Chains A and B, each alone.
Chain A
């Protein structure tokens, strides 16, 4: 077990965003965090990575309390892909990706040949080596998402957390990112992502963690948790589920307008 959250609660004020939530993240497994706008998906993610201290309960990283560990130690094990940001300054894609090596070198050290080679390898793995000298803030949104994933590969963590990796991407790039996520799982990473699309967990075939606006939490495999009545309760819309023979899985469709 890579990350284990036990009975965690968190809230910015006196009311909690989620209460007594427990979940695990394992090797070679995808966990989708699902929930409507404002339910606290990103907040939960930030707690799992140790950015926010939980109010109650504990988050264990490989058995140790995450809040007792140094940021560097945590960063060597958990990689975080935030929602795409555009840096103020135009770093090249390679300069951006090489920062993934930061937790592995000393504070006063700089990346050398070895680190740049690791960054290039990560870019090749994502198939975007040709972008290495391009300015990061001038490439497309899809390419930026790929560069961010390349950076997390250069970081060499065991768990990768992604905050809405498909947001702001066109349909083709959404699919490509999901395909990449599937590939990461196959390589042995534990992957956690937040998403707005209930189809994603069905597609990726992992487990889901659902939080709603009241802070209620449901967890389980995608097939167990996701059904029509559950989705209606969560989103307040009559979503339809159909089994698609060609895909060999169920899929979620919006109701007739």
Chain B
């Protein structure tokens, strides 16, 4: 793809995102038309007056925060998935490779059992996720083997351990209330997003995604393997640590706000590669935009398709799994 084509694609994706965001502000239990949405924004900028203040509340307190959160979280998950796949040189890897999701689930479940509120639940989920990453990265160091494979294996160990811990917590949970809260959280949802949550995501996203994009060309080199990266003058250990830390931070932040959402981090990078090629300098921003777009669509369906909220992982799986099969069909020559 030529430079001009890439630029056009980025602009197209941005326009699509804005268009879909406006559409998403219209749909829901309280339905509006795009004109209403423009009025709401106009009123905020003192350009016109609003007859019905409900619209303002619906847009600014409920739908806009949720749309922003969906865009950011979709971008976070798919970008960190892309970085993990590049650094681990494995297209089957997803952002919870190092046990982030498992750790976050344990943290959140513990908070639910302790009867904590939403804020503490997010905090514990974040701590659980980062603890899992810490454990996954400390095992290879104890075993004095710094290879990628060892890191992947220790990720499997930590994930498995976290799954069992979660099992214990579910086992002792009270069935009617606590257990269903844990299960619902595990399947991911954006319905409890507050305007503050959406704002809190922004700085983390900017830092994590900013560093990853700044290093995206170096990720190309990392994906050739350790020997090649070293002989090209790279400090492999440091580069790997920084990129994995950023990707894990983004994943843990996303997971602690909305629970675990499967498939996005695995599928969207593949789609990005199919459209713009493997070069991470283009693939990362593309994957970010595509991921945001994808989760925005999924979340809008989740809240508007029926009278009850559909958990996100159900939808991402139902749409993502066949989509992944289609992507593999398209790339079949390159998968061995």
Contacts and interface: CB of A to CB of B under 8 A. Distances in A.
Contact of B225 (A46, A85, A92): A85
Contacts of A46: 227
A209 to B, nearest CB: 20
Nearest to B273: A89
Interface stretch (A74-82, A139-147, A222-230): A74-82
A102 B273 CA distance: 22
Given A85-B224, A95-B220, A102-B221, A72 B231 contact: no
Given A87-B223, A88-B89, A51 B228 contact: no
A99 B220 contact: yes
B334 A90 contact: yes
Given A89-B278, A91-B220, A95-B279, A49 B215 contact: no
Interface in A129-168: 135, 137-138, 155
A102 B232 contact: yes
Contacts of B273: 89-90
A187 interface: no
Contact of B233 (A71, A91, A95): A71
B230 interface: yes
Nearest to B331: A90
Contacts of B225: 85
Interface string B184-219: 000000000000000000000000000000111110
Nearest to B282: A95
Interface in B221-258: 221, 223-225, 227-228, 230-235
B223 A82 contact: no
B49 interface: no
Contact of B91 (A85, A89, A95, A135): A89
Contact of B221 (A80, A90, A92, A99): A99
Contacts of B215: 107-108
A102 B233 contact: yes
Contact of B223 (A89, A92, A109, A111): A89
A82 B228 contact: yes
B335 to A, nearest CB: 10
B90 interface: yes
Contacts of A70: 233
B217 A110 contact: yes
A103 B278 contact: no
Interface of B: 86, 89-91, 214-218, 220-221, 223-225, 227-228, 230-235, 273, 277-279, 281, 334
Interface of A: 46, 49, 51, 70-76, 78-80, 82, 85, 87-92, 95, 99-100, 102-103, 107-111, 135, 137-138, 155
Listed from nearest, the 10 A-B pairs whose CB atoms lie closest are: A75-B233, A103-B233, A89-B278, A80-B231, A72-B233, A102-B232, A110-B217, A88-B89, A108-B214, A91-B278
Given A80-B228, A85-B224, 8 more contacts: A74-B233, A75-B232, A78-B231, A90-B278, A102-B218, A109-B217, A137-B334, A155-B232
